[in-house]
């Protein structure tokens, strides 16, 4: 399938000597590019239609010009960016360092890893389609992949394409994985958020949400308030309600039932039953969470039971940890070996 997708510019190629914060020399390399998305044009938040995209190229990529590689599309979490995950600014994780270490051991198949910057005016796109944030499903599953396949030496088929993500990105992994089994063959969700309806509905929390009257005040909000603003942008957009262009969960101190229903309909567990045939097409499904990461751990246990009911093969694990402290280890010892075993290398 040929798509006409324009590149805006190659912003920079980041080798180990320029990666920040004392990171040792990388065997692979990082390129940070901009990839245009027609599906993101005209979104009401004014988010760019040319997101930054970080691309990790494995050690052998520039040594063997004839070799082609599987690709893992890795989706970051809420309020994160691709730059944070790729060690370009200081953060709690450094993906290239983790991947480099694994590939240096020579035990796993090398792969390209691609992460789009899904940070929006409201903190994150939830990888969902919305007139307010843009159509992120189409951007990731169609336009971004088409561009990467055209400009890098990928193995351009679903059998060689994986999807993974953490938190909001874990939710996006399940959302896109169940919808596009012809694009991705294997998925791995790390601590996926938003699997079940939730959020603090106390009068104090609702008052904080309703107190944010202007997008400029977003950065001052606490995390739960930011989540509510972003959830509305992704799942209850309203083009007639500037400046946020959403139907928020609260109005005049009262929970808005229609908005609550829309958010619930977009929760990960709510959509599984609609996509059973698609999920059965996937070659690999895996998800995990730390036992101290509640309610996420409890919700993926429900996902495990639901997939068992349909006899869909998958790997599920609850480990000793919280939302962040073991993610690097999980990527190194679980996620990368999973994709090395699942993705076709030719």
Judge whether residue 266 has pLDDT over 70. yes
User: Cα 221–223–227 angle (5° rounding)?
Assistant: 100
Which CA distances in Å does 338 have to 27, 49, 109, 169, 189? 22, 32, 11, 17, 12
Q: From CA 168, how far away is CA 201, in angstroms rounded?
A: 20
What values do phi and psi take at 113, rounded to 5? Answer: -125, 130
What values do phi and psi take at 137, rounded to 5? Answer: -60, -50
Q: What is the pLDDT of residues 306-324, one digit of tens each?
A: 999 999 999 999 999 999 9
Judge whether residue 19 has pLDDT over 80. no
pLDDT band at 24 (very low <50, low <70, confident <90, very high): low
pTM of the predicted protein model: 0.93
pLDDT for res 104: 92
Q: Considering the chain, what is the average pLDDT of its residues?
A: 93
Q: From CA 93, how far away is CA 98, in angstroms rounded?
A: 9
Find which of 11-15, 213-217, 282-286 is predicted with most confidence, using mean pLDDT.
282-286
Average pLDDT over residues 103-107: 92
DSSP 8-state code for residue 339: H
Judge whether residue 12 has pLDDT over 90. no
Strands 112-116 and 71-75: parallel
Q: From CA 276, how far away is CA 273, in angstroms rounded?
A: 6
* Tokens representing residue 118 in the block: 């899904």
* Tokens representing residue 22 in the block: 């004392």
Q: Which of 35, 280, 229, 251 is nearest to 136 (CA)?
A: 35
Q: From CA 211, how far away is CA 221, in angstroms rounded?
A: 9
pLDDT for res 199: 84
Task: Write the secondary structure of 73-122 as one string of H (helix), E (strand) and C (coil).
Answer: EEECCCCCCHHHHCCCCCCCCCHHHHHHHHHHCCCCCCCEEEEECCCCCC
Q: What is the pLDDT of residues 85-100, one digit of tens each?
A: 999 999 999 999 999 9
Q: Tokens 């992949």 correspond to what residue? A: 145
> What superfamily in CATH does domain 7-196+272-342 come from?
Alpha/Beta hydrolase fold, catalytic domain (3.40.50.1820)
If you write DSSP's letter for every residue of 120-183 in order, what string do you get?
-TTS--TT-EETTTEEHHHIIIIIIHHHHHHHS-B--SGGGEEEEEETHHHHHHHHHHHH-TTT
- Higher-confidence residue: 137 or 23? 137
Q: Is 145 helix (H, G, I), strand (E, B) or coil?
A: helix
pLDDT for res 25: 78
Task: List b or e across 184-199, with b for residues whose CB sees 16 or more CB atoms inside 10 angstroms.
Answer: bbbbbbbbbbbbbebb
Q: From CA 264, how far away is CA 167, in angstroms rounded?
A: 17
Average pLDDT over residues 17-36: 74
167 backbone φψ class: left, alpha, beta (φ>0; ψ -120 to 50)? left
pLDDT for res 11: 36
Q: From CA 295, how far away is CA 194, in angstroms rounded?
A: 9
Structural domain spans, the chain:
7-196+272-342, 203-265
Judge whether residue 21 has pLDDT over 50. no
């Amino acid at each position: 399938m040929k798509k006409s997708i324009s590149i805006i510019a190659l912003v920079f190629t980041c080798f180990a000597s320029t990666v920040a914060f004392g990171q040792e020399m990388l065997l692979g390399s990082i390129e940070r590019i901009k990839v245009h998305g027609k599906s993101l044009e005209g979104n009401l938040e004014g988010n760019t239609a040319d997101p930054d995209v970080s691309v990790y190229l494995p050690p052998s990529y520039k040594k063997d010009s004839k070799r082609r590689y599987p690709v893992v599309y890795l989706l970051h979490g809420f309020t994160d960016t691709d730059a944070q995950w790729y060690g370009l600014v200081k953060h709690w994780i450094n993906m290239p360092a983790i991947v480099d270490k694994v590939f240096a051991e020579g035990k796993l198949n090398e792969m390209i890893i691609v992460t789009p910057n899904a940070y929006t005016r409201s903190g994150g796109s939830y990888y969902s389609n919305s007139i307010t944030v843009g159509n992120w499903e189409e951007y990731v599953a169609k336009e971004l992949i088409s561009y990467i396949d055209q400009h890098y030496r990928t193995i351009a088929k679903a059998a060689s394409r994986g999807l993974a993500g953490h938190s909001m990105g874990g939710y996006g992994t399940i959302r896109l994985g169940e919808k596009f089994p012809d694009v991705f063959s294997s998925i791995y969700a790390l601590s996926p958020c938003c699997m079940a309806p939730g959020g603090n509905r106390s009068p104090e929390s609702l008052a904080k949400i309703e107190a944010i009257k202007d997008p400029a005040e977003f950065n001052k909000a606490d995390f739960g308030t930011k989540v509510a603003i972003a959830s509305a942008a992704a799942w209850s957009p309203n083009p007639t309600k500037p400046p946020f262009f959403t139907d928020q969960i609260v109005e005049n101190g009262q929970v808005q039932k229609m908005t609550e229903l829309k958010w619930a309909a977009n929760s990960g567990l709510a959509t599984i039953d609609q996509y059973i045939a698609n999920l059965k097409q996937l070659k690999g499904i895996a998800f995990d969470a730390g036992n101290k990461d509640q309610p996420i751990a409890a919700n993926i246990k429900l996902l495990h039971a639901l997939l068992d009911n349909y006899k869909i093969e998958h790997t599920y694990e609850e480990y000793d940890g919280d939302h962040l402290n073991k993610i690097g280890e999980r990527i190194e010892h679980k996620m990368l070996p999973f994709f090395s075993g699942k993705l076709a290398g030719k």
